[in-house]
Structure 1
Amino acid sequence: MFQSFDSHATPEQGPPRLAALRDVMTHEGLAGFIVPRADAHQGEYVAARDERLQWLTGFTGSAGFAVVLPGIAGVFIDGRYRVQVKAQVDLDCFTPVPWPEIKAGDWIRQHLDAGEVGFDPWLQTADEIATLRAVLEPAGIGLRPTRNLVDAIWPDQPPAPCGLAFAHPDALAGESSADKRARLAEGLRNAGQRAAVITLPDSICWLLNIRGADVPKNPVLQGFAILHDDARVTLFTDPAKLDEATCAHLGPQVTLRPPAAFVPALRTLTGPVRVDRGTAPLAVSDEMAEAGIDVAWGDDPCRLPKARKTAAEIAGMREAHLRDGAAMVEFLCWLDRQTPDTLTEIDVVTALEGFRRATNALHDISFDTICGAGPNGAIMHYRVTRDTNRAVRNNELLLVDSGAQYRDGTTDITRTVAVGNPRDEARACYTRVLQGMIAISRVRFPKGLAGRDLDPLARYPLWVAGFDFDHGTGHGVGAFLSVHEGPQRLSRVSEVPLEPGMILSNEPGYYREGAFGIRLENLIVVQVAEGLGDNRAQYSFETLTFVPLDRRLIVTAMLSPYEAAWLDAYHAQVLAQIAPRVSGDVLDWLKAACAPL
């Protein structure tokens, strides 16, 4: 629970582990092996047992994969991790590959003439393997499902997680599990499907109104489930994870089975059975196909309903954000009182967690706090360790991206603050990032638009200066669930239409390697916009996060009148909402931080 500052892998460990993997590949008659970051549930955050990519390479990012060939081992990373990976892997053994600009199939064809590349079918989806096969097979390169070769060489691999699950009250969920199951089962019947296989832990937890403790920072239960067309659910997980009270909460229509029973159960289903080819392990559909069961490809039936938050969930998220906002204000006030050069990144992270614990409502933090001082702020998903811990120095920027899990909601907030008097160039870049965040906050948009349609609004102020950022503008957020939730996103690739109740982050940024990083993040929820003009169906965003933005970093002359008015109105809201929750010197600090421009 809470944050550790230990390093779990080092670059020096990579070469002998890579050599051992290549030895096993040779023994298996394979010319390559794929090592994904994901686990069997395609989770971004995985249990210690499933940290295969990190164990092999040293890379700790939350997305990516490795492809190991006889003469080269590529570590595929997206724009968030291009700086980080160079510090974490042995560059004499591992080659960083910019992804998705360079696709795995094209890269393998470039570096391998012939042979078979192995993969664990429990860690790859049908979509992933079909995409690779389409590129590799015409070149005479095969793909072979095999046992997991990293597990074969990992002598002290941790055991499977076995955290205790617990009930999530209907009052917070806004809908009973029975009603959810009945609604989704009706959808299966209408589609002519007899069952759906559910492999995403947050989908299972949402459907059954339970939470778990199998994955750090995300309150989920790992397992698999089958939703039948009569609203029954069979849940496959270690029975030790569910006590008597939780079993009683699940009720008689939920049958608990051990994980070993999952594959036999798949092979006895009556089709058509819905499987999500983008999230389910390939092994699931292969087992059913081998047994002659009709597989109906379709989306996980829980994902969209889960994304459309109920009124109760939104109310819980509002309250969680007010509680968390007060803790953040306490923290920012404390931070302003500290003397530069006497404070380290670990000191900052520890203090912030302390303010959240003081609420007496904290379940856990929602991810390891990102605290980057000066140049460390340019490492987008930087996680401080005892080895990398840096002093917070005068006249620099400090980026703090953090969040909390409360029983009534999940928070995620980023603030970049001034330490001393940063240079004018840094202030101008901060203002451009702020302008992007304001653009998303203010937008009204027609029903039917997706995240990709809005993403450019956050980038335009940076684009006109020749800048950009290499991550999406926003991700979905669960309600006391995963801090990164699909399918809703604000990004160039998101085609999922935004709908009322969807909660997203609004977090543009700018990163200058070796100098500083800037990111600003509020959480927002899609709402129906009040009627204007000819009353076309339009949506807008309600802001959930109420924490001041650092006025010392804003170049006021760069703001339009509309942007300045939004910022003053936002700060007035922050003061009105948070002032009753703080007092004394903290209240004085808040009033000054929220003063009009």
Structure 2
Amino acid sequence: MTTAEKIDALRALMRERNLDAWIVIGGDPHQSEYPAPHWKTRAWLSGFTGSAGTLVVTPDRAGLWTDSRYFIQAAQQLAGSGIELFKLKVPGVLTHPEWLAQVLPEGAVVGFDSAIMPINQADELAEKLASKRVSFWHEEDLTALIWRDRPPIPTTPVSLLPLEFCGETRPAKFARIRREMAAYPADIHLISTLDDIAWMFNLRGSDVEYNPVAVAYAAITQTETRLFINPAKLPAKAAAALRADGVICANYDDFLPYVRNMPERAVVLVDPEKTSQAVKDATPDHCVLIGAPNIVLHLKASKNATELSGTRNAHLRDGAALMKWLCWLKQHLGKEALTEISIVEPLTHFRSQQAHFQGLSFYPIVGYQANGAICHYAAEPESALSISPEGLLLVDSGAQYLDGTTDITRTIALSPPTPQQKRDFTLVLKGHIAIATAKFPQGTWGAQLDALARIALWKEGLQYRHGTGHGVGCFLSVHEGPQGIRPENQTPLEPGMICSNEPGLYREGEYGIRIENLVVVVPAEETAFGQFYQFETISFCPIDLTLIDAALLTNDEIRWVNAYHHEVWEKFSPFLSGEECACLAEMTREISSF
């Protein structure tokens, strides 16, 4: 079926049910950023494959809303589909609830799949559409009726993460969660998010590509802990270990019946952003529902000593693989046919040779020339560009290791760069250094630091529209909350939190630039004015010196670049071959302002 045929089939079902609009968000019952194929409903219907977006279909119009990371990609993928693109946060562009309030008739009926729709978004819809006296219908998933070859829910087995990698036992984690619950007080905490569940139970899976998680739900009270998971996914050893720690294992499909039968007057804690409307609908009226962030979300964010040590080690091994790949690229560029896909195959190979390698942490973003301006570009075999010794190449990649998750971006000049390219790159580098060297008081939000990465660009009338940094897990999701460095993030940065530091600049139709390392929040000093924190950079890979205009850097910034490259040299040179050492020496040579 074409996109147009799918939309027509959906509209036919809407007419049968007297629906004036149908909303499809890009998620699953666990509010995953990257859902398993079974739940990639929005992508199947619209053809848009980005990780963020909402599709709305009415009898005569269809629209897709997404953020700036995907403006270029969405425009390309929606071309000819009849689906309008709405660019979020662009002045004058309505959100989908605002748009529906404008186009729907009085007393309209709006449908959505309540198993997917989070509580907070359902509440926002109700608020925005109240003036139109809109009612909501979510008795079934209409997409399931037309998606004939829909992939099944994954049933791959889970594994236990040894204590040497996670650093904390399940009972210890359960006790910490219960202490936080008592502060509300809450009798039951329902948890839907897959990475939170993986952390909580020291389990890892492979149900979602690049994300070591398993499809499951959890419920914890002051006296018991339940894991709702397909029993076929639990090997005997894992099931026995869970039982030994007091975990009650139930079938995945038993979760909503459990919710419907929660005891009278139970105080139930759920995260409205991470819990589906179906869970709210199933909660008995005699229970009290508290909406607050998942307790696990915050506990998981601050890594313990074992996780931090493992993550640092994982980044060293990952950096060694990257170094080998950079040398490989230098040797092979212009001597054999390379594409945006084939060029990173050796990088994956070098990573796979490292200890504890489990796979990639996301599909590599390899953007050559103009494709580098597409923030989350995904090269396809039929359209991947051939790469020659000219222009800029942006490579954003990462890996999963048993002891850590990596994510790093480098922009590489494949020929002598233009003055504009050098200027753009250096302005981005100044922002990267500003974050890397920031010192800030306890209680500082990521939002308060975000501007540091942008000031040099703003002074030149330049801007990037994505956040400066996202949280990162430990052998978990490469995008993790609640911390982040972006304008809207109001989570205080605390020791042990890992974030990316990735300012960029994108000239549509020309090239993209991004420099990304991961950083961890560490104590800096305590003064008469309180505790101060700073960032420790844990990613190590040369920054392309040919793209730096040293005249635009301050002496302190030059010292940072030289110190960073000295550290790269010290960490990797002992383990490289003679030819690779010569390559590394050239890439990490000192620069000066003269």
> Scaled by the length of structure 1, what TM-score is found?
0.96
1:191-248 CA-to-partner distances (Å, cap 9, x unmatched) read: 2211100000111111111111110001001111101112x21111100111011112
Query: 1:77 aligns to what?
Result: 66
Match of 2:51 among 55, 62, 65: 62
Distance 2:69 2:579 in 1: 38
Question: Within the alignment, does 1:16 sit opposite 2:16 as a pair?
Answer: no
The percent of aligned pairs where both chains have the same amino acid is 39
- Contact 1:32/1:116 (<8 A) preserved: yes
CA shift for structure 1 position 110: 2.4
Match of 1:163 among 156, 159, 172: 156
Distance 1:35 1:191 in 2: 34
Q: Are 2:481 and 1:486 equivalent residues in the alignment?
A: yes
Post-superposition CA distance 1:99-119 (Å, at most 9, x none):
245311111122222411101
1:309 is aligned to: 303
Deviation at 1:285, TM superposition (A): 1.7
2:117 pairs with 1:128: no
**SS at structure 1 position matched to 2:152:** coil
1:378/1:513 contact within 8 Å kept = yes
Q: State the alpha-carbon separation in 1 of the partners of residues 575 and 117 from structure 2.
A: 47
- Counterpart check, 1:330 vs 2:324: yes
Which sits farther off after the overlay, 307-316 or 161-170?
161-170
Shift of 1:92: 4.8
Whole-angstrom CA distance in 2 between matches of 1:161 and 1:580: 43
* 1:320 aligned onto 2:309: no
> Could you say which residue in structure 2 is the equivalent of 1:6?
none
Alpha-carbon offset, residue 43 of structure 1: 0.4
Q: Confirm or deny that 1:277 pairs with 2:272.
A: yes
Letter in 1 for 2:449: L
Give the AA of the match of 2:131.
P
SS of the equivalent of 1:302 reads: helix
In 2, Cα distance between equivalents of 1:447 and 1:531: 10
Name the CA distance, whole Å, in 2 between partners of 1:402 and 1:498: 25
**C-alpha displacement of 1:171:** 2.0
Q: CA deviation at 1:359?
A: 1.9
Which letter does structure 2 place at the counterpart of 1:243?
P
Conserved 8 A contact 1:373-1:393: no
Preserved contact between residue 14 and residue 89 of structure 1 (Cα < 8 Å): no
Which residue in 1 is equivalent to 2:569?
575
Report the CA distance shift for 1:95/1:389 in structure 2 as closer, same or farther (over 3 A).
Answer: same
Alpha-carbon distance between aligned partners in 1 of 2:252 and 2:44, rounded to the nearest angstrom = 25
Aligned amino acid, residue 293 of structure 1: C
Q: Does 2:452 align with 1:457?
A: yes
SS of the residue 1:33 aligns to: strand
Partner of 2:225: 233
Distance 1:561 1:17 in 2: 59
Q: 1:339 offset after TM fit, Å?
A: 3.0
Report the CA distance between 1:531 and its aligned residue.
Answer: 4.3
2:545 alignment counterpart: 551
Task: Show the counterpart of 2:135.
Answer: 142
1:481–1:92: structure 2 CA closer, same or farther, 3 Å change rule? closer
CA displacement, residues 531-578 of structure 1 (integer Å, 9 cap, x when unaligned): 46x463110000010101000000110001111111111111111112
Amino acid at match of 1:109: A
Shift of residue 425, structure 1, vs aligned partner:
0.6
Which moved further from structure 2: 139-148 or 570-579?
139-148
Query: After the TM superposition, which residues 504-583 of structure 1 pair with which residues of structure 2 at under 5 Å, given as runs?
Result: 504-531=499-526, 534=528, 536-583=530-577
Distance across 1 between alignment mates of 2:273 and 2:37: 24
2:465 is the alignment partner of 1:470: yes
Equivalent residue in structure 2 for 1:432, among 405, 421, 427: 427
Q: How far apart are residue 188 of structure 1 and its match?
A: 1.6
Contact 2:3 2:81 in 1 (8 A): no
Q: Distance in 1 between matches of 2:195 and 2:241?
A: 18
Please tell me whether the aligned partners of residues 13 and 58 of structure 1 are also in contact (alpha carbons under 8 angstroms).
no
List per-residue Cα deviations over 1:431-475 (Å, max 9, x = no partner).
111111000000000111111000000011111111111110000
2:366–2:395 Cα contact (<8 Å) kept: yes
- Return the alpha-carbon distance in structure 2 between the equivalents of residues 442 and 325 of structure 1: 21
Q: Distance in 2 between matches of 1:477 and 1:41?
A: 18
Q: In structure 2, which of residues 163, 171, 183 is the aligned counterpart of residue 190 of structure 1?
A: 183
Q: What is the alpha-carbon distance in structure 2 between the residues aligned to residue 104 and residue 145 of structure 1?
A: 18
For the 8 Å contact 2:261–2:284, the answer to whether it is kept is no
Describe the SS at the equivalent of 1:295: strand
Q: Distance in 2 between matches of 1:33 and 1:582?
A: 57
Select the residue among 230, 249, 252 that pairs with 1:259: 252
Matched residue type, 1:260: D
Deviations 1:488-540 (A, max 9, x none): 110001011110000000000111111000111000000110346x4631100
* Match of residue 18 from structure 2: 29
The 8 Å contact of residues 395 and 423 in structure 1, kept in 2 or not, is answered as no
How far apart in 2 are the matches of 1:505 and 1:352? 20
Of 194, 199, 205, which aligns to 1:206?
A: 199
1:357 aligns with 2:352: yes
Aligned partner of 1:87 in structure 2 is 76
1:408 is aligned to 2:403? yes
Residue in structure 2 matched with residue 399 of structure 1 by the alignment: 394
- Residue number in structure 1 paired with 2:167: 174
| C-alpha separation in 2, matches of 1:84 and 1:419 | 24
CA contact (8 A) 2:21 2:109 kept: yes
1:79/1:471 contact within 8 Å kept: yes
Q: Find 1:377's aligned residue among 369, 372, 376.
A: 372
2:548 counterpart letter in structure 1: I
TM-score normalized with structure 2 length: 0.96
Counterpart of 2:493? 498
Contact 1:18–1:56 under 8 Å retained in 2: yes
- Whether the 8 Å CA contact 2:356–2:403 is kept in 1: the answer is no
Residue identity opposite 2:242 in structure 1:
L
Question: 1:369-415, CA deviations, whole angstroms, 9 ceiling, x for partnerless residues?
Answer: 00000001011100111122101133310000000000010000000
For 1:151, give the aligned amino acid.
Answer: A
Residue aligned with 1:367, SS: coil
Deviations 1:405-429 (A, max 9, x none): 0001000000000011221111110
C-alpha distance in structure 2 between counterparts of 1:224 and 1:538, whole Å: 38
For residues 526 and 424 of structure 2, the distance between their equivalents in structure 1, rounded to whole angstroms, comes to 35
Report what 1:5 is aligned to. none
Between stretches 270-279 and 86-95, larger displacement belongs to: 86-95
Cα RMSD for the two superposed structures: 1.3
Aligned with 2:209 (options 193, 197, 216): 216
Distance 2:135 2:375 in 1: 36
1:302-323: CA deviation from partner (whole Å, max 9, x where unpaired): 0001001001000000000000
* AA in 1 matched with 2:531: A
* Alignment match, 1:4: none
Contact 2:525 2:531 in 1 (8 A): no
Higher mean displacement: 355-364 or 62-71:
355-364
1:360 shift after superposition: 4.9
The one-letter code sitting in structure 1 at the alignment partner of 2:217 is: F
SS of match in other structure, 2:466: coil
Give the letter for the 1:247 counterpart: A
Q: Deviation digits for residues 60-79 of structure 1, max 9, x if unmatched?
A: 10111101111111111100
Partner of 1:589: 583
Give the Cα separation in 1 of the matches to 2:257 and 2:28: 21
